[in-house]
Structure 1
């Protein structure tokens, strides 16, 4: 599948107002969980908020974006103060709805706060 799909990237955005420790937000992008994603914290420092792209996209029988299990695994690895799941119901190929992530987040005692946002809404990313 590597040859058929475009490369993906996540980003850490840092907001520094000069009034103390900057706010770090990790936006995962459409990716799969890999152990080397744990290096995000090593390279960037503690993450305040994580915007995690989900969906569990399956193409030709292969999962190509994180599902609920992988998403919660990433939350445990990154340990953000706030987690917001997005990008979970945009396409018919998505197989892992947000409700699955919410249930697993609670069941697996994921760290931090879970904040849900619907289209057109805003939420605070600070704890």
Structure 2
């Protein structure tokens, strides 16, 4: 455990790569000194990537709703604009977009608000949103 003395001269007992407010703890010592003690904090990884099965199902629904040929590849990085659906930001303006959103809502038993649909540009974006909505619903 690394310690930093609270005097005018600071010294590190070991190299510190990164310090954030969650990894610091102040503990006053009764002898009049105050020490800043670095405590290990478990690393947390936050992934925005949707589950593979969600991405696969969104690809399937999009391909069906847009009536894309079998040889057309649809993956997480596929942009709706490249698939012929412009984007999902104008959901009510294009019947194809409405059909895609309705298909996703029906399959995943969720409700996608128009403001949320405005952020969707790729299949991965749609899958991320679906995973979030499903998690909130659970």
Q: Which TM-score applies when normalising by structure 2?
A: 0.22
Structure whose CA Rg is larger? 2
Of Structure 1 and Structure 2, the greater helix share is in: 2
Q: Which TM-score applies when normalising by structure 1?
A: 0.23
Of Structure 1 and Structure 2, the greater strand share is in: 1
